[in-house]
Amino acid sequence: MGWIKRNLFIVIGGVVTLALLGAGGFYIYKDWTRNSDAADKLNEIYGTLKNLQQQQPSPGNEKVDNTKIAKDQEQQVRAWIASSRNYFQSIPAIPADNVSSETYAGALRRTIDVLQHEADDAGVMLPPKYDFSFSAQRTLVKFADGSLSPLAEQLGEVKAIADTVFSARVNALDGIQRVRVSPDDAAGSPGDYIDERPVTNDLAVITPYVVTFRCFTPELSHVIGAFATSSNTFLIKSINVQPAGSSAFAAPTDAGMQPGGMPGALLPPGMMQPGMMPAPTAPVQPTAGKGGLQTILKEQVLRVSLEVGLVKLLPKS
């Protein structure tokens, strides 16, 4: 104790020095821990960057900025999507709004009458008293509940298909077939319908139709081009082409008619109604040369059956 009293200042200085050394050691340890954590994070970031640079494609370097290129391409894709919507215009329903049994019945009769006159103006033959696949609804004044909206949509779509075929001035329209959307369709002619259903995905609804007509090759190319360039997206899913035969435009008889008055041309290839006899096919005899140019290819009437799908975009959620 006496020594401490004699060297009090030295003792106090030593205690202060030890305290300062302890504080300094604590701060050094704390900084070392923080630096170690920062080094670990830096190594992790460096490893991630190295992995990204080794990927294909990589984010790029000081010469090639793949990130900016990706963003530019994203903008291009979005611009293309916006412009492509011009080719997915919806077909207006007939009638477009305020659909009731009275308004639809009147619109149906007027539309069928308009289409029949358009066919006459374009020189397109139709089956007798053809109702454009609406024979079940033509005479009705009251329709099943819940069926008016889909029927109105189908009427507008059938008119768009018929107008496309008429624009090519084909020789004859044998029929348009659609899917059943109403209980009233059960009483319709089987030749008016196809046994398929619309397909729905995350983007659109694809509604199938089958249109059968007769024409020459130039008119067929016009029909295909018209469907391809239409603002209403029609996808040609299949095409069946075969010679129409010499009696293609003869008046239909009872043996050549399906139930409901549809011509036998709507039957699948190779199928015949009971009692029908296959038409004899005369062999083609070579024509004796009479001088001049020889006929290499002779155009003939074709019977064409197109299965098309109408793409309708779903509303944005």
C-alpha Rg value of the chain to the nearest Å: 39
Same domain? 171 vs 305: yes
Q: Which of 84-98, 180-194, 202-216 has the lowest mean pLDDT?
A: 84-98
Peptide bond into 95 cis (omega under 30): yes
Range of the domain at 7: 1-55
> Token match 């509940």: residue?
145
Q: Which of 55, 74, 99 is the last residue of a domain?
A: 55
- Mark whether 239 and 145 lie in a shared domain: yes
Domain CATH for 231: 3.30.70.60
> What is the total count of domains within the chain?
2
Give a yes or no: residue 267 inside a domain: no
159 shares its domain with 305: yes
> Are residues 210 and 123 part of one domain?
yes
Residue 257: pLDDT band (50, 70, 90) is very low
Examine residue 290 and state whether it is found in any structural domain, yes or no: no
CA distance 277 to 282: 15
Instruction: Answer yes or no: do 165 and 39 share one domain.
Output: no
Q: Is residue 80 part of a domain?
A: no
Segment 116-136, tens digit of pLDDT? 999 999 999 999 999 999 999
Global confidence as pTM: 0.61
Residue 150 located in a structural domain: yes
Structure-token match 């619109």, residue found: 107
Q: Return the higher-pLDDT residue of 310 and 202.
A: 310
Residue 200 lies in a domain: yes
Mean of pLDDT over the chain = 79
Instruction: List, for residues 228-250, the tens digit of each pLDDT value.
Output: 888 778 889 999 999 887 444 44
134's tokens = 């609406």
What tens digit of pLDDT does each residue of 45-104 get? 878 777 766 666 666 666 777 778 888 888 888 888 777 777 677 888 998 888 899 999
Mean pLDDT, range 25-35, rounded to an integer = 75
**Shared-domain flag, residues 107 and 235:** yes
Same domain, 120 and 207: yes
What integer pLDDT is reported at residue 7 of this predicted model? 65
Statement to judge: residues 307 and 169 lie in one domain: yes
235 and 110 housed in the same domain: yes
204 alpha carbon, distance to own chain's centre: 6
